[in-house]
Structures are given as structure tokens and as C-alpha cells.
Amino acid sequence: MATSDFIDECRIQVCGGDGGRGCASFRREKFVPKGGPDGGDGGRGGSVIFEGDEGMATLLDTHHRKHYRAKRGDHGRGAQKTGHGGEDVVVRLPLGTVVKDDESGETLCEVLKNGEQWVAAAGGRGGWGNIHFATSTNRTPREFQPGEPGQDRWLRLELKVLADVGLLGFPNAGKSTLVSRVSAAKPRIANYPFTTLHPNLGMVEIGDTRFVMADIPGLIPGAHMGTGLGDRFLRHVERTRSLVHLLDPEPPLRGDESRGLLSDYRALRHELASYSSDLVDRAEIVCIAKSDLVPDEKRELLSEELTNAGIDVRWISSSSGEGISELVQELAKDMQSA
């Protein structure tokens, strides 16, 4: 998917159709000069309906087309004919879409299942025809009701991809490389930060177990407040069951004083905690990536500040394969026990 095609936020207007007007008419029969009322009811306006579609991966469609209006109901007619209902408009959305009221920010619905429907804007009820207004004292009522207006509102759509495992790390830590190693996903990989600009999902299969791993763009300090769009990226790992945190040994190896494994780890945990208490409590596996680049004699030096701080780390390399199958097996075990 081209980067510009991945859209995970948009605002749209949804309007249900108005109900049709009720009818005021009287029966006409031979030899009956003044028949009773026979005006039918107006038809119901169509609704705008959201439907989950597992084949969609982005909010691109709703980003381009912002207004959805269902048809109005037909007016009632004589001879007790009810107007036809207006046609519904079905808007298909990717699974994982959160629907919020644009004004209040309140979450109204989460689209999680394929085919699941939700009424985004209800059509208005049709008005009553004059047959409903006949009484013992008024046998020739001329009253009828107008149709009710359809619901009209602005909604905010936010996509949170559905994945079991989320990959976290600073830019360039090797997240995309890992997902490409353990799944068939082919994300862009390059030796500079911010290569990944939108989440990539990879399906990992091991024995009978399958799970989805989400590679997100790299995070930097301030991510929870939106620095580097971090808050938008963190949203995509909110629904995961566990996290894999990749630490990049390259900066400390080349003597970059501003970056160390423990300080990187803490900086990222700080972002998680500031973003959501849920995320910081989620099960996580901490890995030092690119182990093939670290000479044996430097391993202990690099890992000991983490182990001294009580952080359980493992070494992995998407190049040599070290630690990869153990990691995948452990994640699979977590999935089975969940």
C-alpha cells in the first residue's frame, strides 16, 4: 500500500433521509358522496448504515467522500397507500474503526466484525395520514403529519488496527525487518529513521497458531503528545495483547552519548505510560535487536545495565536468526493461553 493511501482518521457527515409526509384524502365511491378518510402514512426515510468489511485496510474511501445522505421516504397516498421507505446507504469500514461523535468526542461504536452493522444516522419516521385522525366527532379529518427529519450529524472515524502483538521501538530499531522475517509482510526497510510511515500488519503462523503482528512507525520522546505523530501510531497498538519492545544497539555501539539501551527503554516506557495506563501494563517482551552487529565481548556490557535494573532482556537478530524462533514460540504460547 502506498503511504498516502493509508488513512486512519477522518470526519464525515451522515444524514438519514426525512420521513415522507402523511396524506389527507377521502374515499371516493359511487353513491357515497363523502367517504371516510383514507390518506396513507409517509414512508420512513432511509438510514446511513456502517458495515464492517474485513477486506478494507484504511479509511481512504471515507476520507475522499465526506457526506452521506440516505433517500427520503415517499409521501403517503390516497386509498391508504403508505409511501415507500427511502433506500439505506451502506458505508463499508475497515475492522477496528472507532466511531466518535465529532462534537463531544464520545465513542459511539467500534466496528469489530465482518458484516456487523450499525445505524450511523437513522431515517425519519413517516408522518401519519388522515386515517389516524378520525374520531367519533370528526369523521372527516383533514389533519396529517409531516415526516420527521432524518438524523444529521458529524462523526469522527479513527482506525485502530486489529493486531495481537505490537512492535515498539525507536526509529531504525529493526521493527519492520523483524515483521518481514517472521511473516510474509514486505514493509519498507531502510537504514534511516522514519522509514515506516504507517502500520504494517504481518500474519505469523507457527504450527496451528496464527497471530497478527503490527509494525508501527518509530517512536520518539514526546510521542504521547503527538511528537513525530507518535500518538497516532500508539493508537494502533492499543488493541494488541502483548508488546515486543526492540532496543537498537547501534547508537551506543558507535558511541552516541545521547542514546543508551536503558535510557531508550525508559524513554519509550515513559511515552507508553503517558499515553495510556493500559498500554504500560500490557505484557511485553524486551529484545535487543541486531545482535549480529554486537561483538561477543560487548554483549554483557550492553545488557548489564538493563539486567541490573531488573529488566529481563533477550538478544535477537533478524539477520542471523538468533532468538527469532524462541520469540515467535513464546508469543504463540501467550496467544494460546489468552
Ligand X SMILES: Nc1nc2c(ncn2[C@@H]2O[C@H](COP(=O)(O)OP(=O)(O)OP(=O)(O)O)[C@@H](O)[C@H]2O)c(=O)[nH]1
Q: Which residues lie near Mg ion (CB under 5 A)?
A: 175-176, 195-196
Tell me: does residue 196 bind ligand X (CB under 6 A).
Answer: yes
Choices 6-14, 51-59, 193-201, 222-230; region in contact with ligand X by CB under 6 A: 193-201
Judged by CB, which is closer to ligand X: 190, or 273? 190
Tell me: does residue 249 bind ligand X (CB under 6 A).
Answer: no
At its nearest, how many Å lie between Mg ion and the CB of residue 175? 5
Contacted by 177, from Mg ion, ligand X, none: CB < 5 to 8 Å by type: ligand X
At its nearest, how many Å lie between ligand X and the CB of residue 288? 10
Can you give the chain as a three-state secondary structure string? CCHHHCCCEEEEEEECCCCCCCCCCECCECCECCCCECCCCCCCCCCEEEEEECCCCCCHHHHHCCEEECCCCCCCECCCECCCCCCCEEEEEECCEEEEECCCCCEEEEECCCCCEEEEECCCCCCCCHHHHCCCCCCCCCCCCCCCCCCEEEEEEEECCCCCEEEEECCCCCHHHHHHHHCCCCCCCCCCCCCCCCCEEEEEEECCEEEEEEECCCCCCCHHHCHHHHHHHHHHHCCCCEEEEEECCHHHHCCCCCCCHHHHHHHHHHHHHHHCHHHHHCEEEEEECCHHHCCHHHHHHHHHHHHHCCCCEEECCCCCCCCHHHHHHHHHHHHHHC
Tell me: does residue 189 bind ligand X (CB under 6 A).
Answer: yes
Tell me: does residue 172 bind ligand X (CB under 6 A).
Answer: yes
Query: What character string, x for contact with ligand X (CB under 6 A) and - otherwise, covers 270-309?
Result: -------------------xx-xx----------------
Among 175, 224, 232, 236, binds ligand X (CB under 6 A): 175
Contacted by 290, from Mg ion, ligand X, none: CB < 5 to 8 Å by type: ligand X
At its nearest, how many Å lie between Mg ion and the CB of residue 187? 6
Among 319, 323, 330, 334, binds ligand X (CB under 6 A): 319
Contacted by 317, from ligand X, Mg ion, none: CB < 5 to 8 Å by type: ligand X
At its nearest, how many Å lie between ligand X and the CB of residue 323? 10
